[in-house]
Amino acid sequence: MTEQKNYFAHETAVIDDNCTIGRGTKIWHFSHIMSDSVIGEGCNIGQNVVISPQVVLGKNVKVQNNVSIYTGVICEDDVFLGPSMVFTNVINPRSAVNRKNEYARTLVKKGATIGANATIVCGHDIGEYAFIGAGAVVTREVLPYALVVGNPARQIGWMSQYGHRLKFDQEGKAVCPESKEIYILKDNRVHKV
C-alpha cells in the first residue's frame, strides 16, 4: 500500500523522513525539507530553500528562492519570506564550538513580510503584518504593522495588512488606500478598527 501525498514536490527536492507537509503545498527545485519540520497547507517553497529540523510554517506561507530557515524559526499563517533572506539561530556561532543546544527561537507572526536579502538575527519576534524592507538586518523585536529598513533595521513607519504605508492624521487615524480599512495609532501601537 503506497501513501498518497497531497502536496507537490519537484523531483529534485529532498524531503527527509518525519516531515509534515500540508495539503496543496508546492516544493520546487533543489529544496531540502529536513526531518521533523512542519509545513502547513497551501505553502509555496521556492527553489534552493533549506528548511531545517523542527521549523514550523503555518498555512499559506510563501518562501521565495534561496531562503534558509533554521531550527528555532516559527512562521505563522500568511507570512512572506523574500528571495535570499536568511534567519540565524545562534547569537555567537563558532565553527569549533558546538551550540546546537543554544538555538534561539524566532517567531514571525501572521501576515508579516520579510524583504529580499534581509537578515533576521535570532531571538527577535516579528509582529503581525510587520514589513521588513529589502536588505534590512533585524537585531531587535519588530512591532505589529511596523515598517523597518536598514542596517541595523530601524522603524520608519507603519503598514496596512494590504502592504501599503499608512499616513496617520492628527487624531491618529489612517485609511488603507486599497482595502479602505481604518487603522488607529495610539501609544506607539497600531490597531485595525
34 and 11, same domain (yes or no): yes
CATH number of the domain within which 106 lies: 2.160.10.10
Tell whether the model's pLDDT for residue 1 goes beyond 70. no
CA angle centred on 68, ends 54 and 46, rounded to 5°: 100
82 and 60, same domain (yes or no): yes
Tell whether the model's pLDDT for residue 4 goes beyond 90. no
Contact assessment for residue 124 and residue 142, using Cβ atoms and an 8 Å cutoff: yes
Contact assessment for residue 98 and residue 77, using Cβ atoms and an 8 Å cutoff: no
Tell whether the model's pLDDT for residue 2 goes beyond 80. no
151 and 192, same domain (yes or no): no
114 and 155, same domain (yes or no): yes
187 and 93, same domain (yes or no): no
183 and 137, same domain (yes or no): no
120 and 182, same domain (yes or no): no
pLDDT tens-digit readout, 11-30: 999 999 999 999 999 999 99
pLDDT tens-digit readout, 110-121: 999 999 999 999
Contact assessment for residue 19 and residue 33, using Cβ atoms and an 8 Å cutoff: yes
Mean of pLDDT values over 154-166? 98
153 and 62, same domain (yes or no): yes
8 and 88, same domain (yes or no): yes
Three-state SS at 101: helix
Q: Residue 146: beta bridge partners?
A: 158
Total of domains in the chain: 2
pLDDT (0 to 100) of residue 5: 84
How many angstroms separate the CA atoms of 172 and 185, rounded? 5
Mean of pLDDT values over 70-99? 96
Residue 50: pLDDT band (50, 70, 90) is very high
Identify the CA nearest to 81 among candidates 53, 102, 55, 54: 55
16 and 98, same domain (yes or no): yes
Tell whether the model's pLDDT for residue 135 goes beyond 80. yes
Average predicted confidence (pLDDT) for the chain: 96
Determine what percent of the chain is predicted with pLDDT higher than 70. Answer: 98
Residue 3: pLDDT band (50, 70, 90) is low
Residue 78: pLDDT band (50, 70, 90) is very high
Q: Supply the range of the domain harboring residue 24.
A: 1-159
153 and 173, same domain (yes or no): no
